Chains A and B, each alone.
Chain A
Amino acid sequence: MPGSIKDRVAIAGMGCTRFGERWDASTNDLLVDAAYQAFEDAGIEPGDVQAAWVGTQDSGNTGMTLSVPLRLPYIPITRVENACATASDAFRNACYAVAAGIYDIVLAIGVDKFKDSGISGLSDGKTPGPGHSMMSGGMPPRSFARLATTYFDRYGLSYEEGKHMICRVSWKSHVNGARNRNAHFQREVPLETMINAPMIAWPLGLFDCCGVSDGSAAAIITTPEIARNLRKGKEPPVFVKALQIAMAPGDGNFNPKFDYTHVETTVRAASAAYKEAAITNPREQISMAEVHDCFSITEAVTMEDLGFSPRGKVRDDIESGFFDLDGKLPVQTDGGLKCFGHPVGASGIRMLYEMYLQLQGRADKLLNPSMPSRQVKNPKLGLTHNLGGAPAGCAIFVGIVGLEGA
């Protein structure tokens, strides 16, 4: 019988850089910025960190990715890579080390610095086998676009209806991103502009795709007791309720049973996370979520896979504003991958950072001047979700964090 992480570890401090095309910053600059924000927030010194996990997809090898810029002397550091779930998995491993009683105070940090490569989209740095080379340089948009093609077909949506639905997802994220001065994209965009934007991978257009960004985010994880002490007189610590990760067998493009309208791996990871956190009705019990909206359609089907919307019915919830900032279950309150940006190795901790700020009532700390509040009212539980890879084969993380006692 597997154990549960629920309330066994807490987050005592967090930090996150501005995301975007950071022509001004190196990988090291970003790591130092995020880590020192987290140290300051937790009220600790770098020397208090006993061990660290650094997640990066493409911007460094070995734990020295972190020990060199921070000059952390001779402590254990593990480099983690798990595609878009990289940062969340660094966080997960750090939590387990504390829960196991091996360390008291650890650092989990994620970073990626893509934009120095000068190419569009993500890199393509795989060993060329026969399989890899047989494909026509497949990039993520096409594999997620096929979810939309099949979702529209299965549920009888015309192109216009389906396109409106997915653009409404991105429209909401732009509204939220405009309220966040650390976001990559901070501008509201009219829905019509999104619907008529150039195609990237039909039926996904420019605004159906998230940004590829540079950035870093960090968390200080510790025992509940130390966390309460460190945050005395400040906002309360945030407790970890569930950490689940699941790998697909990757047979979606080879097995006709994969229906291309949902991602089974998300369903499996979510169900394990709900069990771990003792959640029976996620639509009612989860206060807010940051999910993997690499593409608008990904967020749409994820709402069904997480049990937020009934199967085949997410369009009703999207169009009615259920997931908007003022809706019943706000999603992507910081703008999401779509607008906050997506440095692959940092995104998972960035999502936790937003849940952390919202749970502590500090979301408006990063409010863009002149914009209305983006603070969710009295949140208790926040969910984060990453999808690394493609719908047909992916690494999924689902985590739940919340206030003590929630």
Chain B
Amino acid sequence: MAGIVSYGAYVPYYRLPRSVINEAWGRGGGRGEKAVGGFDEDSITMSVAAGMDCLQGTDPKTVDALFLATTSAPYKERQNSTIVATVLDLRRDARNADFGNCLRVGSSALFSALDAVKAGSLKSVLVTAADMRLGGAAGEDELAFGDGSAALLVGNNGVAVEIEGSYTLSDDLVDYWRSHEDEFVRHWEDRFGRDAGYMRIPVEAAKGVMAKLNIAQKDIAKLCLYGANTRAHQGLARRMGFDPAQVQDPMLDIVGDTGAAQPLMTLVAALEEAKAGDRILLVSYGNGSDAIVFKVTPEIEKIRDRRGIKRHLQIKRTLDNFGRYLRWRNLISLTPSNRPPGAPASPAAQWREHSSALALYGARCKKCGTPQLFMSASSTRAHVCLECLAKDEFEPYRFADKKGKVATFSHDYLTGGIDPPVTATVVDFEGGGRGEFDMVDREPGECKVGMEVEMTFRKMRYTYGTHTYFWKCKPVRD
């Protein structure tokens, strides 16, 4: 029986109040806030974050494929899902795929995962959905769009959420789009999209699946319905025949419209509250609509320790400076740094050493047991043990999932970058080993020797057309 065996999610640390955006453009008011990824986050890093949350307690080597869903993939050519799979330490024979170009793509990836597991060709598939869409300055989308991600592990062992049935409609109705030349999402006349598209197509899809399963609205515990704005979302739920109490909050006022990630993020939020036996109807929307009916099993109780949506919502800090947001999104021309731009990682060196350069493997000495990282200018691969000097007696040892304590740090104002200062930190890991990492999602004043940190995968820089990723650390906040 194929179904969801684990879930995870990620909401970035910073929340931008809509009043701050409005104030910048000389407008008043503004309802709620939106989650905004940091200057070093994108759909790849957020997919990693949700994936790590979802894979807690799962050996990544048992996962057969990674399906990555997003409309905001950092690369148009270079497989984004394989970057994420490498970081998450999946096998080299994992059958990864990128799903893109449509807000409904999260549920499309989920369908493909379920089909593959049902057919028996794959046993375990990680589906990630992340989005960081960009709205043009001073427009509605700038207010509406938020950033976030979710991940679901699909398998047939310990299924916590069964799939009872689904119904799909595809419809090339053009409301939102972005061509290869566009930086910002475009949309056509609002009322056409609303009246001919959003208020009609999902109704048909939901009806379709309920008819197929011969169930009614009263049989559904929670409706997870995509929504780009609150009024339309509530109107559509009513039109579908659901009570407000049955409708899962799409978090538009606290996270924003997370695009392709929203349906799965809303589903994760619903699963966090669900009891065994609950039926959940997920309805996505975008060039058509997918409607899926899930049924929760008692296994759900075994995967309650995720950060998921609920705990991530509590880990937050208000970004009250709109200029800082403009810098993060490269929406403003900055005074150039008086330093040469950092070169991207050498593709040859990174390929040769990607277990250490991307999955954050160090080594443990088989002779003396000392875990250790090694990062010289030209290599991340050690040969001689720093403790007992044994040569090439190492076994792989992963640091990405280890917490640590700050050994020392400095706030570097000279290096420049998008969001100075850089908090250059030396981390001593629990269980041994030390490494040097930038610290993010921190306030300079809170940093202390001895504070507890965890690892987070981030973008180091974008230079010469290449995103250079590596790990940073951040304070443990729960």
Contact = CB atoms under 8 A, between A and B. Distances in A.
Nearest to B406: A149
Given A201-B424, A202-B444, A132 B436 contact: no
A342 to B, nearest CB: 15
Interface string A134-156: 11111101110111111001000
Interface in B348-382: 349-350, 352-354, 356-357, 372-380
Nearest to A393: B376
A112 to B, nearest CB: 17
A129 B409 contact: no
B422 A142 contact: yes
Given A127-B346, A251-B386, A202 B411 contact: yes
Interface string B431-464: 0111110100000100001100000000011000
Nearest to A133: B345
Most B CB atoms within 10 A — which of A135, A136, A251?
A136
Contacts of B380: 129-131, 134
A196 interface: no
Interface in A110-129: 118-121, 123-124, 126-129
B344 A128 contact: yes
* Contact-size category for A: 35 or more
B345 A134 contact: yes
B403 to A, nearest CB: 14
B408 A260 contact: yes
Given A128-B343, A133-B344, A134-B468, A256 B433 contact: yes
A370 interface: no
Contacts of B426: 146, 253, 260, 392
Interface of A is mostly: loop
Given A130-B350, A136-B415, A121 B410 contact: no
A120 B409 contact: no
Nearest to B374: A254
Contacts of A204: 410
A153 B449 CA distance: 7
B422 A136 contact: yes
Given A126-B377, A128-B346, A256 B424 contact: no
B413 A201 contact: yes
Contacts of A249: 386
A237 interface: no
Given A131-B380, A254-B372, A256-B432, A199 B343 contact: no
Contact of B409 (A118, A123, A146): A146
B53 interface: no
A133 B415 contact: no
A151 to B, nearest CB: 9
B26 interface: no
A371 interface: no
B412 interface: yes
B433 to A, nearest CB: 7
Contact of B377 (A131, A142, A198): A131
A396 to B, nearest CB: 18
B470 interface: yes
Contacts of B349: 128-130
B343 A250 contact: no
A133 B407 CA distance: 22
Contacts of A153: 408, 449-450
B410 A130 contact: no
Interface stretch (B77-85, B258-266, B305-313, B334-342): B334-342
B414 interface: yes
Nearest to B432: A256
Contacts of B433: 254, 256
B263 to A, nearest CB: 34
Nearest to A261: B408
Contacts of A253: 375, 426, 434-436
Nearest to B422: A136
Given A130-B346, A201-B412, 10 more contacts: A120-B414, A123-B340, A128-B343, A128-B345, A134-B375, A135-B375, A137-B416, A251-B372, A256-B432, A392-B426
Interface of B: 338-340, 342-346, 349-350, 352-354, 356-357, 372-380, 386-387, 407-417, 421-422, 424, 426, 428, 432-436, 438, 444, 449-450, 460-461, 468, 470
27 contacts: A119-B340, A121-B414, A124-B342, A127-B378, A130-B356, A130-B380, A133-B345, A133-B460, A134-B470, A135-B375, A136-B342, A136-B438, A138-B415, A141-B414, A142-B415, A142-B424, A147-B408, A199-B413, A200-B412, A201-B413, A202-B410, A202-B412, A249-B386, A254-B374, A254-B433, A255-B372, A260-B426
